[in-house]
Protein backbone atom coordinates (compact mmCIF):
# COMPACT_ATOMS: atom_id res chain seq x y z
CA UNK A 1 0.00 0.00 0.00
CA UNK A 2 1.47 3.36 -1.06
CA UNK A 3 1.98 5.90 1.72
CA UNK A 4 0.27 9.18 0.79
CA UNK A 5 2.48 12.23 0.32
CA UNK A 6 2.25 15.10 2.85
CA UNK A 7 0.31 17.12 0.30
CA UNK A 8 -2.14 14.26 -0.31
CA UNK A 9 -2.59 13.67 3.41
CA UNK A 10 -3.29 17.37 3.96
CA UNK A 11 -5.82 17.33 1.08
CA UNK A 12 -7.61 14.28 2.54
CA UNK A 13 -7.81 15.83 6.01
CA UNK A 14 -9.04 19.10 4.54
CA UNK A 15 -11.89 17.34 2.75
CA UNK A 16 -12.87 15.53 5.95
CA UNK A 17 -12.73 18.79 7.88
CA UNK A 18 -14.83 20.60 5.26
CA UNK A 19 -17.50 17.87 5.55
CA UNK A 20 -17.57 18.34 9.32
CA UNK A 21 -17.86 22.11 8.94
CA UNK A 22 -20.73 21.69 6.46
CA UNK A 23 -22.48 19.42 8.94
CA UNK A 24 -21.82 21.84 11.80
CA UNK A 25 -23.45 24.69 9.90
CA UNK A 26 -26.73 22.79 10.30
CA UNK A 27 -25.75 21.62 13.75
CA UNK A 28 -25.21 25.10 15.19
CA UNK A 29 -28.68 26.06 13.99
CA UNK A 30 -29.88 23.07 16.03
CA UNK A 31 -31.75 21.76 12.98
CA UNK A 32 -32.25 18.28 14.45
CA UNK A 33 -33.71 19.67 17.65
CA UNK A 34 -35.94 22.10 15.77
CA UNK A 35 -37.27 19.28 13.59
CA UNK A 36 -37.90 17.08 16.64
CA UNK A 37 -39.80 19.86 18.40
CA UNK A 38 -41.90 20.54 15.31
CA UNK A 39 -42.62 16.82 14.97
CA UNK A 40 -43.79 16.82 18.59
CA UNK A 41 -45.98 19.85 17.89
CA UNK A 42 -47.67 17.92 15.08
CA UNK A 43 -47.93 14.73 17.10
CA UNK A 44 -49.52 16.42 20.12
CA UNK A 45 -51.90 18.47 18.02
CA UNK A 46 -53.13 15.46 16.04
CA UNK A 47 -54.15 13.28 18.98
CA UNK A 48 -57.62 14.77 19.70
CA UNK A 49 -58.68 14.31 16.06
CA UNK A 50 -57.24 10.79 15.96
CA UNK A 51 -59.34 9.88 18.99
CA UNK A 52 -62.46 11.45 17.49
CA UNK A 53 -61.90 9.47 14.29
CA UNK A 54 -61.39 6.25 16.26
CA UNK A 55 -64.64 6.87 18.13
CA UNK A 56 -66.41 7.35 14.82
CA UNK A 57 -65.00 4.05 13.61
CA UNK A 58 -66.35 2.20 16.65
CA UNK A 59 -63.75 2.30 19.41
CA UNK A 60 -65.82 2.52 22.59
CA UNK A 61 -63.30 1.91 25.38
CA UNK A 62 -60.92 4.06 27.46
CA UNK A 63 -63.21 6.98 28.12
CA UNK A 64 -60.25 8.95 29.49
CA UNK A 65 -58.42 9.06 26.13
CA UNK A 66 -59.83 12.48 25.32
CA UNK A 67 -58.76 13.85 28.71
CA UNK A 68 -55.24 12.42 28.27
CA UNK A 69 -54.89 13.99 24.84
CA UNK A 70 -56.12 17.35 26.16
CA UNK A 71 -53.63 17.20 29.02
CA UNK A 72 -50.84 16.76 26.46
CA UNK A 73 -52.11 19.76 24.51
CA UNK A 74 -52.28 21.87 27.68
CA UNK A 75 -48.76 20.88 28.79
CA UNK A 76 -47.34 21.47 25.32
CA UNK A 77 -48.88 24.94 25.19
CA UNK A 78 -46.55 25.85 28.05
CA UNK A 79 -43.54 23.81 26.95
CA UNK A 80 -43.45 24.79 23.28
CA UNK A 81 -42.66 28.53 23.59
CA UNK A 82 -40.04 27.80 26.26
CA UNK A 83 -38.37 25.28 23.97
CA UNK A 84 -38.40 27.65 21.03
CA UNK A 85 -36.88 30.41 23.15
CA UNK A 86 -34.14 28.11 24.44
CA UNK A 87 -33.38 26.84 20.93
CA UNK A 88 -33.01 30.41 19.68
CA UNK A 89 -30.72 31.37 22.57
CA UNK A 90 -28.54 28.29 22.19
CA UNK A 91 -28.35 28.44 18.39
CA UNK A 92 -27.42 32.13 18.39
CA UNK A 93 -24.53 31.43 20.77
CA UNK A 94 -23.40 28.46 18.69
CA UNK A 95 -23.55 30.37 15.39
CA UNK A 96 -21.44 33.15 16.93
CA UNK A 97 -18.91 30.59 18.15
CA UNK A 98 -18.84 29.05 14.66
CA UNK A 99 -17.83 32.24 12.84
CA UNK A 100 -14.08 32.10 13.64
CA UNK A 101 -13.96 28.60 12.17
CA UNK A 102 -15.77 29.71 9.03
CA UNK A 103 -13.41 32.68 8.69
CA UNK A 104 -10.30 30.48 8.94
CA UNK A 105 -11.43 27.95 6.34
CA UNK A 106 -10.43 30.18 3.37
CA UNK A 107 -6.98 30.59 4.96
CA UNK A 108 -6.62 26.84 5.07
CA UNK A 109 -7.68 26.54 1.42
CA UNK A 110 -5.12 29.17 0.41
CA UNK A 111 -2.34 27.30 2.24
CA UNK A 112 -3.25 23.93 0.72
CA UNK A 113 -0.20 23.95 -1.59
CA UNK A 114 2.18 24.59 1.31
CA UNK A 115 1.81 21.50 3.55
CA UNK A 116 4.01 22.91 6.31
CA UNK A 117 1.93 26.09 6.60
CA UNK A 118 -1.37 24.27 6.14
CA UNK A 119 -0.59 21.76 8.90
CA UNK A 120 -0.63 24.37 11.64
CA UNK A 121 -3.92 25.91 10.47
CA UNK A 122 -5.43 22.46 9.98
CA UNK A 123 -4.53 21.25 13.48
CA UNK A 124 -6.00 24.39 15.01
CA UNK A 125 -9.22 24.06 13.02
CA UNK A 126 -9.57 20.34 13.75
CA UNK A 127 -9.39 21.05 17.48
CA UNK A 128 -11.87 23.93 17.16
CA UNK A 129 -14.33 21.82 15.15
CA UNK A 130 -14.12 18.99 17.70
CA UNK A 131 -14.91 21.43 20.50
CA UNK A 132 -17.74 22.89 18.43
CA UNK A 133 -19.25 19.44 17.89
CA UNK A 134 -19.18 18.89 21.65
CA UNK A 135 -20.93 22.21 22.23
CA UNK A 136 -23.67 21.33 19.72
CA UNK A 137 -24.22 17.94 21.37
CA UNK A 138 -24.39 19.58 24.81
CA UNK A 139 -26.96 22.10 23.57
CA UNK A 140 -29.07 19.32 22.02
CA UNK A 141 -28.97 17.35 25.27
CA UNK A 142 -30.01 20.42 27.24
CA UNK A 143 -33.03 21.09 25.05
CA UNK A 144 -34.03 17.43 24.81
CA UNK A 145 -33.83 17.23 28.59
CA UNK A 146 -36.46 19.95 28.86
CA UNK A 147 -39.13 17.64 27.49
CA UNK A 148 -37.75 14.08 27.37
CA UNK A 149 -40.23 12.72 29.93
CA UNK A 150 -43.10 14.43 28.12
CA UNK A 151 -41.83 13.02 24.80
CA UNK A 152 -41.82 9.48 26.21
CA UNK A 153 -45.39 9.85 27.45
CA UNK A 154 -46.63 11.21 24.12
CA UNK A 155 -44.75 8.55 22.15
CA UNK A 156 -46.29 5.80 24.28
CA UNK A 157 -49.75 7.31 23.78
CA UNK A 158 -49.07 7.62 20.05
CA UNK A 159 -48.07 3.94 19.82
CA UNK A 160 -51.27 3.00 21.63
CA UNK A 161 -53.32 5.00 19.13
CA UNK A 162 -51.44 3.26 16.30
CA UNK A 163 -52.53 -0.09 17.74
CA UNK A 164 -56.16 1.04 18.04
CA UNK A 165 -56.15 2.28 14.45
CA UNK A 166 -54.59 -0.98 13.25
CA UNK A 167 -57.37 -2.94 14.97
CA UNK A 168 -60.10 -0.75 13.50
CA UNK A 169 -58.62 -1.11 10.01
CA UNK A 170 -58.41 -4.89 10.35
CA UNK A 171 -62.00 -5.07 11.62
CA UNK A 172 -63.16 -2.98 8.66
CA UNK A 173 -61.49 -5.47 6.30
CA UNK A 174 -62.62 -8.61 8.18
CA UNK A 175 -64.96 -11.23 6.76
CA UNK A 176 -66.96 -11.25 10.00
CA UNK A 177 -68.86 -8.56 11.87
CA UNK A 178 -68.96 -7.70 15.53
CA UNK A 179 -72.20 -8.26 17.39
CA UNK A 180 -74.35 -5.26 18.34
CA UNK A 181 -72.74 -3.56 21.39
CA UNK A 182 -69.61 -5.74 21.05
CA UNK A 183 -66.46 -3.63 21.09
CA UNK A 184 -63.03 -4.38 19.68
CA UNK A 185 -60.21 -4.11 22.22
CA UNK A 186 -57.07 -5.18 20.34
CA UNK A 187 -55.79 -6.92 17.24
CA UNK A 188 -52.38 -8.29 16.36
CA UNK A 189 -50.68 -10.11 13.50
CA UNK A 190 -50.52 -13.77 14.50
CA UNK A 191 -49.92 -17.35 13.45
CA UNK A 192 -52.21 -20.02 14.88
CA UNK A 193 -49.84 -22.84 15.82
CA UNK A 194 -52.23 -25.76 15.50
CA UNK A 195 -49.91 -28.33 17.15
CA UNK A 196 -48.55 -25.96 19.78
CA UNK A 197 -45.35 -25.56 17.76
CA UNK A 198 -45.19 -23.28 14.76
CA UNK A 199 -45.21 -25.14 11.45
CA UNK A 200 -44.69 -23.87 7.90
CA UNK A 201 -48.33 -24.42 6.90
CA UNK A 202 -49.94 -22.93 10.03
CA UNK A 203 -52.45 -20.19 9.13
CA UNK A 204 -51.26 -16.62 9.42
CA UNK A 205 -53.65 -13.77 10.03
CA UNK A 206 -55.03 -11.53 12.75
CA UNK A 207 -55.88 -12.38 16.35
CA UNK A 208 -58.69 -10.22 17.73
CA UNK A 209 -59.85 -9.56 21.26
CA UNK A 210 -63.23 -7.98 21.96
CA UNK A 211 -65.09 -7.53 25.20
CA UNK A 212 -66.98 -10.74 24.37
CA UNK A 213 -64.88 -12.94 22.11
CA UNK A 214 -61.46 -14.10 21.01
CA UNK A 215 -61.30 -14.51 17.23
CA UNK A 216 -58.64 -15.58 14.77
CA UNK A 217 -59.03 -14.76 11.09
CA UNK A 218 -56.67 -16.23 8.53
CA UNK A 219 -55.50 -13.46 6.23
CA UNK A 220 -52.58 -14.21 3.96
CA UNK A 221 -51.39 -14.80 0.42
CA UNK A 222 -50.65 -18.44 -0.37
CA UNK A 223 -48.52 -19.54 -3.30
CA UNK A 224 -50.55 -21.48 -5.86
CA UNK A 225 -47.72 -21.93 -8.33
CA UNK A 226 -43.96 -22.11 -7.90
CA UNK A 227 -41.06 -22.17 -10.34
CA UNK A 228 -37.74 -23.25 -8.87
CA UNK A 229 -39.16 -22.76 -5.36
CA UNK A 230 -40.14 -19.15 -6.15
CA UNK A 231 -43.84 -18.27 -5.96
CA UNK A 232 -45.06 -17.06 -9.35
CA UNK A 233 -48.78 -17.03 -8.54
CA UNK A 234 -50.48 -16.25 -5.24
CA UNK A 235 -54.03 -16.35 -3.93
CA UNK A 236 -55.36 -14.33 -1.01
CA UNK A 237 -56.96 -16.51 1.63
CA UNK A 238 -59.14 -14.87 4.27
CA UNK A 239 -61.70 -16.32 6.61
CA UNK A 240 -62.64 -16.72 10.26
CA UNK A 241 -60.93 -19.80 11.71
CA UNK A 242 -61.75 -19.55 15.41
CA UNK A 243 -64.15 -17.71 17.69
CA UNK A 244 -64.70 -18.38 21.37
CA UNK A 245 -66.39 -16.45 24.19
CA UNK A 246 -63.98 -14.65 26.49
CA UNK A 247 -66.11 -15.97 29.35
CA UNK A 248 -64.85 -19.47 28.55
CA UNK A 249 -61.16 -18.58 28.87
CA UNK A 250 -59.64 -20.71 31.61
CA UNK A 251 -56.07 -19.41 31.52
CA UNK A 252 -53.54 -17.61 29.34
CA UNK A 253 -49.92 -18.78 29.34
CA UNK A 254 -47.03 -16.82 27.80
CA UNK A 255 -43.73 -18.02 26.37
CA UNK A 256 -40.76 -16.88 24.33
CA UNK A 257 -39.56 -18.86 21.31
CA UNK A 258 -37.04 -18.61 18.50
CA UNK A 259 -33.26 -18.87 18.51
CA UNK A 260 -32.89 -15.57 20.38
CA UNK A 261 -36.08 -16.04 22.41
CA UNK A 262 -37.47 -12.94 20.73
CA UNK A 263 -40.77 -14.42 19.52
CA UNK A 264 -43.86 -13.81 21.65
CA UNK A 265 -46.31 -16.68 22.12
CA UNK A 266 -49.52 -17.12 24.08
CA UNK A 267 -51.55 -20.23 24.73
CA UNK A 268 -55.20 -19.70 25.57
CA UNK A 269 -56.87 -22.58 27.39
CA UNK A 270 -60.64 -22.78 27.38
CA UNK A 271 -63.30 -24.29 29.59
CA UNK A 272 -65.83 -26.86 28.43
CA UNK A 273 -68.15 -25.50 25.75
CA UNK A 274 -65.51 -23.72 23.69
CA UNK A 275 -64.82 -24.95 20.14
CA UNK A 276 -61.24 -25.94 21.10
CA UNK A 277 -59.56 -26.92 24.34
CA UNK A 278 -56.62 -24.60 23.72
CA UNK A 279 -55.16 -22.38 21.02
CA UNK A 280 -51.49 -21.45 20.69
CA UNK A 281 -50.53 -18.25 18.86
CA UNK A 282 -47.27 -16.65 17.78
CA UNK A 283 -48.04 -12.95 18.02
CA UNK A 284 -46.22 -9.79 16.93
CA UNK A 285 -46.71 -7.89 20.19
CA UNK A 286 -45.61 -8.38 23.77
CA UNK A 287 -47.12 -11.64 25.03
CA UNK A 288 -47.46 -10.39 28.63
CA UNK A 289 -49.47 -7.41 27.37
CA UNK A 290 -51.89 -9.74 25.59
CA UNK A 291 -52.15 -11.98 28.63
CA UNK A 292 -53.21 -8.92 30.63
CA UNK A 293 -55.69 -7.77 27.98
CA UNK A 294 -57.43 -11.15 27.78
CA UNK A 295 -57.63 -11.46 31.56
CA UNK A 296 -59.05 -7.93 31.81
CA UNK A 297 -61.65 -8.74 29.16
CA UNK A 298 -62.65 -11.91 31.00
CA UNK A 299 -63.10 -9.97 34.26
CA UNK A 300 -65.18 -7.32 32.40
CA UNK A 301 -62.67 -4.66 33.42
CA UNK A 302 -63.06 -2.82 30.11
CA UNK A 303 -66.77 -2.29 30.77
CA UNK A 304 -65.85 0.13 33.56
CA UNK A 305 -64.09 2.45 31.12
CA UNK A 306 -66.50 2.48 28.20
CA UNK A 307 -66.96 5.82 26.48
CA UNK A 308 -70.25 4.54 25.04
CA UNK A 309 -72.65 2.83 27.43
CA UNK A 310 -73.95 -0.64 26.63
CA UNK A 311 -77.55 -0.78 25.43
CA UNK A 312 -79.36 -2.09 28.51
CA UNK A 313 -82.00 -3.73 26.32
CA UNK A 314 -79.29 -6.06 25.01
CA UNK A 315 -78.16 -6.79 28.57
CA UNK A 316 -81.74 -7.62 29.52
CA UNK A 317 -82.06 -10.03 26.56
CA UNK A 318 -79.03 -11.97 27.79
CA UNK A 319 -80.39 -12.14 31.33
CA UNK A 320 -83.76 -13.34 30.04
CA UNK A 321 -82.24 -16.01 27.77
CA UNK A 322 -83.84 -19.45 28.31
CA UNK A 323 -81.93 -22.03 30.32
CA UNK A 324 -83.99 -24.92 28.95
CA UNK A 325 -85.11 -25.74 25.43
CA UNK A 326 -88.91 -25.47 25.18
CA UNK A 327 -88.97 -28.13 22.45
CA UNK A 328 -86.97 -30.96 24.06
CA UNK A 329 -86.34 -29.79 27.59
CA UNK A 330 -82.58 -29.95 27.13
CA UNK A 331 -80.41 -27.64 29.24
CA UNK A 332 -79.00 -24.58 27.49
CA UNK A 333 -75.36 -24.51 28.60
CA UNK A 334 -73.83 -22.35 25.88
CA UNK A 335 -72.63 -18.84 26.67
CA UNK A 336 -75.13 -16.28 25.40
CA UNK A 337 -73.38 -13.22 24.04
CA UNK A 338 -74.78 -9.72 24.20
CA UNK A 339 -76.11 -8.85 20.76
CA UNK A 340 -77.15 -12.38 19.81
CA UNK A 341 -80.64 -12.66 18.30
CA UNK A 342 -81.00 -16.43 18.58
CA UNK A 343 -79.58 -19.50 20.28
CA UNK A 344 -79.72 -23.05 19.04
CA UNK A 345 -80.41 -26.13 21.17
CA UNK A 346 -77.44 -28.48 20.86
CA UNK A 347 -79.72 -31.48 21.41
CA UNK A 348 -82.65 -31.02 19.02
CA UNK A 349 -81.52 -28.08 16.89
CA UNK A 350 -84.44 -25.89 17.95
CA UNK A 351 -83.71 -22.21 17.31
CA UNK A 352 -84.94 -19.84 20.01
CA UNK A 353 -85.23 -16.10 19.48
CA UNK A 354 -84.04 -13.90 22.29
Q: Quick one: pLDDT at residue 135?
A: 96
Point out which residues pair with 187 in neighbouring strands.
Answer: 208
Confidence class for position 214, pLDDT limits 50, 70, 90? very high
> Which position has the higher pLDDT, 174 or 120?
174
Listed in sequence order, the residues at least 6 apart from 343 whose beta carbon sits closer than 8 Å to its beta carbon are: 321, 322, 332, 334, 336, 351, 352, 354
Q: Where are the domains of the chain?
A: 6-157, 174-305, 311-354
Q: How many CB atoms lie within 10 A of CB 137?
A: 11
State whether residue 262 is helix, strand or coil: coil
pLDDT per residue over 277-308, tens digit each? 999 999 999 999 999 999 999 999 999 999 98
Residue 125 CA to residue 131 CA, distance in Å, equals: 10
pLDDT per residue over 336-351, tens digit each? 999 999 999 989 999 9
Q: How far is CA 270 from the centre of its chain?
A: 29
Q: Tell me what percent of the residues of the chain surpass a pLDDT of 90.
A: 76
Q: Quick one: pLDDT at residue 327?
A: 92
Average the pLDDT over 249-261 and give the result: 92
Of 117-121, 158-162, 211-215, 299-303, the range with the lowest mean pLDDT is 117-121
Q: Quick one: pLDDT at residue 47?
A: 97
Confidence class for position 231, pLDDT limits 50, 70, 90? low
C-alpha closest to that of 335 among 270, 273, 287: 273
pLDDT per residue over 156-183, tens digit each? 999 999 999 999 999 999 999 999 999 9
Of the candidate CATH numbers 3.40.50.720, 2.30.29.30, 1.10.150.20, 3.10.310.70, the domain formed by 174-305 belongs to: 2.30.29.30
Residue 208 CA to residue 185 CA, distance in Å, equals: 8
Q: Within 13 Å, how many C-alpha atoms sit on residue 354's CB side? A: 22
Q: Quick one: pLDDT at residue 261?
A: 86
Q: Quick one: pLDDT at residue 112?
A: 76
Confidence class for position 229, pLDDT limits 50, 70, 90? low
pLDDT at 1 over 70: no
Average the pLDDT over 213-226 and give the result: 88
Q: Quick one: pLDDT at residue 14?
A: 87
Mean pLDDT across the chain, nearest whole number? Answer: 93
Confidence class for position 271, pLDDT limits 50, 70, 90? very high
pLDDT per residue over 8-45, tens digit each? 888 888 899 899 989 998 899 999 999 999 999 999 99
Average the pLDDT over 255-273 and give the result: 93
> Which position has the higher pLDDT, 232 or 43?
43
Q: Domain spanning 6-157 has what CATH number?
A: 1.20.140
pLDDT per residue over 144-154, tens digit each? 999 999 999 99
State whether residue 305 is helix, strand or coil: helix
* 6-157 and 174-305, same CATH topology: no
pLDDT per residue over 321-338, tens digit each? 999 999 999 999 889 999
Residue 329 CA to residue 348 CA, distance in Å, equals: 9
Listed in sequence order, the residues at least 6 apart from 106 whose beta carbon sits closer than 8 Å to its beta carbon are: none
Alpha-carbon Rg for the chain in angstroms = 31
Residue 306 CA to residue 211 CA, distance in Å, equals: 11
Q: Quick one: pLDDT at residue 276?
A: 96
Q: How far is CA 165 from the centre of its chain?
A: 10
Of 107-111, 184-188, 218-222, the range with the lowest mean pLDDT is 107-111
pLDDT at 223 over 80: no
Average the pLDDT over 126-130 and give the result: 93
Q: What are phi and psi of 56, to 5 degrees?
A: -65, -25
Contact 312, 330 (CB under 8 A): no
Residue 132 CA to residue 145 CA, distance in Å, equals: 20
Listed in sequence order, the residues at least 6 apart from 71 whose beta carbon sits closer than 8 Å to its beta carbon are: none
C-alpha closest to that of 252 among 293, 217, 303: 293
Amino acid sequence: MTTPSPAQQIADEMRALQNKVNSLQDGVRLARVRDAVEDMETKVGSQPQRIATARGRGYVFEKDLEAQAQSFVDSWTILYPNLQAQINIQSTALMNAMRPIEMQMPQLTAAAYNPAAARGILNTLQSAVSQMESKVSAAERTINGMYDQFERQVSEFNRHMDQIEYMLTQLAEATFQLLPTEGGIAAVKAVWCKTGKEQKDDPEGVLYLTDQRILFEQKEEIATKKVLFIATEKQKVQGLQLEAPVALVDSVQTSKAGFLKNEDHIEVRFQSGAPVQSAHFHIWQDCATWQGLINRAKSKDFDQARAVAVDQAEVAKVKAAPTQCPACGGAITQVVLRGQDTIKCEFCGNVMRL
